[in-house]
Amino acid sequence: MNRAISRTFLVIGLLLCALIANVVYIQVIDASNLKSNPQNRAQILQQERIKRGNITAYDGTVIAGTRREGSYWVRTYPLGDFATHVVGYDSLRYGRAGIEKSMNDVLSGQSTDLGVQSWIDRVLGRRPRGGTVRLTLVPEVQRAAQQALSGQRGAVVAIDPATGAILASASAPTYSAATLSKDWPRLSKETSAPLLNRAMQALYPPGSSFKVVTAGAGLRDGVVTPQTRYVDTGVYRVYGGKVVNYGGEVFGPNTLTQALTFSINTTFGKLGNQLRHSRLIGGAEAFGFWKRPPVELPAGEVRVSGRYGDGSLLPPSAPMDPLAVAWAAVGQEKVLATPLQMALVAAGVANGGRVMKPYMVDSVISPQGKTTAVTKPGTWTVALDADTAAELNAMMQEVVKVGTGTAAALAGISVAGKTGTAERAGANQAWFIAFAPADAPRVAVAVTIEDTYGTGGEVAAPLAASVMRAALAQGRLP
């Protein structure tokens, strides 16, 4: 009888061990799945009881604050629709986006970046308090950027070329985070996609603004100089196809500098085939194409620029025939770029060829008011050597002085820039990338307007000027 009793004990012991294994599965192996499950209301409600940290502009102005409502905290937006796409939203129903998502650990007080007191609070089981996220956005510049876009579809990005700090990032049309849950059904269906952060999430053909990249590749590798001569007949025939100029213009003999100044497609098409596939694409990669800019936004909210086929990024080595190379060199073909990437191209030239890591979180401030983490600027990629950058800088100044970008000129300040007018679905995608002052750059911008009938020089250049003016009027920038 004892043997049977021992065996029964063994069976029951094994059953209890099965319970242990199952609990390990739930609490360790499957735990993160269960925690992030949208049905998990308690998890979300728990978050709502935490006083979320503020999101402020560089000067400390509160962009997203909190207000008490019973035992809950509700987000407030004292500046209204200010940098909405950057700040994002924190919604019970629709989840999180933007800085609210990527910096959630700090904002909800769970980050280790918040210092000893937060840690003590956690050990004592006190409800955590959120830390403040201070952005690099400068209110005046951001406002100028938003104003520039008003009534249009497009984006503006302004960067401090020396540090990579993002001074402004605007996308239009926008939405209101305060009334998100009410507006969501409409917003998510709207054809103008107001929820999309065009500044970093939208991919557009860069058109002639990409010529800066092509010229940089040519100069860097010594294939050409700014004085290299070309003859334009209005048509560059290649590989059974042709490259023509915007508006069917014919320029005759021209130098590379003139080709950039007046945006001569045929010359850049030829340059493309002088460089060939590998050096053209290599030049783009040197500016950050095919890499995700390390901005502090959620992974899906910053897209990679490069060549796209059927909606997905083609590898740099994807084959191109000479016609494709010619059109890619003028920023058409399958080349797509985000406004952020094009701003980084301008910033790279401005900063002597060195593209700084773009960032928009300046620092993290603990609930006790102590700054506990500060972003240190760093190099993201080296696009050009300093001499090449200086040559390109001079060429880009010609664009604003006498070329297609005269509308971007600022009184008493030298501006370097490049227009772009890409054809997209029957209308124009107007671009302007620029930096100023050209001899000691403090701001680099990219402006793009969707679905317009004007050119980059007509539509985007004046907007770039107003944003740069606002930036240069500021004393200290991040």
Task: Please report whether residue 18 would count as binding another protein according to CB under 8 A.
Answer: yes
Task: Please report whether residue 43 would count as binding another protein according to CB under 8 A.
Answer: yes
Q: How far is the CB of 298 from another protein (least distance, A)?
A: 23
Q: Which residues pair with 433 in a beta bridge?
A: 418, 446
Q: How far is the CB of 110 from another protein (least distance, A)?
A: 13
Is 208 considered catalytic here? yes
Q: Which of 22, 179, 188, 192 binds another protein (CB under 8 A)?
A: 22
Q: Which of 28, 299, 425, 440 binds another protein (CB under 8 A)?
A: 28
Task: Please report whether residue 93 would count as binding another protein according to CB under 8 A.
Answer: no
Task: Please report whether residue 8 would count as binding another protein according to CB under 8 A.
Answer: yes
Handedness of CA 227, 233, 238, 244 (dihedral sign): positive
Stretch that binds another protein, among 26-34, 172-180, 266-274, 394-402 (CB under 8 A): 26-34
Q: Are 212 and 268 in contact (CB under 8 A)?
A: no
Task: Please report whether residue 39 would count as binding another protein according to CB under 8 A.
Answer: yes
Task: Please report whether residue 15 would count as binding another protein according to CB under 8 A.
Answer: yes
Contacts of 358 (CB under 8 A, 6+ apart): 159, 164, 166, 293, 294, 295, 340, 344, 380
Q: Are 464 and 409 in contact (CB under 8 A)?
A: no
Q: How far is the CB of 32 from another protein (least distance, A)?
A: 8
Task: Please report whether residue 120 would count as binding another protein according to CB under 8 A.
Answer: no
Rounded to the nearest 10°, the torsion over CA 311, 317, 319, 324 is 70
Q: How far is the CB of 5 from another protein (least distance, A)?
A: 5
Task: Please report whether residue 24 would count as binding another protein according to CB under 8 A.
Answer: yes
Task: Please report whether residue 394 would count as binding another protein according to CB under 8 A.
Answer: no
Q: Identify which of residues 48 and 183 has a Cβ nearer to another protein in the complex.
A: 48
Task: Please report whether residue 92 would count as binding another protein according to CB under 8 A.
Answer: no
Q: Please spell the DSSP secondary structure of 13-78, one letter per residue.
A: HHHHHHHHHHHHIIIIISHHHHHH-TT-HHHHHHHHTS-PPPEE-TT--EEEEEEEETTEEEEE-T
Stretch that binds another protein, among 39-47, 172-180, 407-415, 468-476 (CB under 8 A): 39-47
**CB-based burial, 274-300: b 16+ in 10 Å, e otherwise:** bbebebbbbbbbbbbbbeebebbbbee
Which CA distances in Å does 74 have to 53, 61, 67? 11, 18, 5
Q: How far is the CB of 50 from another protein (least distance, A)?
A: 11
Q: How many residues bind another protein (CB under 8 A)?
A: 40
Q: Which of 40, 112, 225, 278 binds another protein (CB under 8 A)?
A: 40
Interatomic CA distance for residues 313 and 149, integer angstroms: 28
Q: Identify which of residues 46 and 233 has a Cβ nearer to another protein in the complex.
A: 46
Task: Please report whether residue 74 would count as binding another protein according to CB under 8 A.
Answer: no
Q: Which residues pair with 284 in a beta bridge?
A: none
Interatomic CA distance for residues 228 and 256, integer angstroms: 6
Q: Identify which of residues 48 and 249 has a Cβ nearer to another protein in the complex.
A: 48
The residue from 171, 208, 305, 466 that is catalytic is 208
Task: Please report whether residue 35 would count as binding another protein according to CB under 8 A.
Answer: yes
Q: Are 346 and 434 in contact (CB under 8 A)?
A: yes
Interatomic CA distance for residues 151 and 211, integer angstroms: 29
Task: Please report whether residue 192 would count as binding another protein according to CB under 8 A.
Answer: no
Q: Identify which of residues 28 and 440 has a Cβ nearer to another protein in the complex.
A: 28
Q: Identify which of residues 44 and 472 has a Cβ nearer to another protein in the complex.
A: 44
| H-assigned helices in 136-264 | 139-149, 180-189, 198-201, 211-220, 256-261
Interatomic CA distance for residues 37 and 114, integer angstroms: 27
Task: Please report whether residue 112 would count as binding another protein according to CB under 8 A.
Answer: no
Q: Which helix (H) or strand (E) holds 310?
A: none
The residues binding another protein (CB under 8 A) are 1-9, 12-13, 15-16, 18-20, 22-24, 26-28, 30-35, 37, 39-40, 42-43, 45-46, 49, 70-72, 125
State the catalytic residues.
Answer: 208
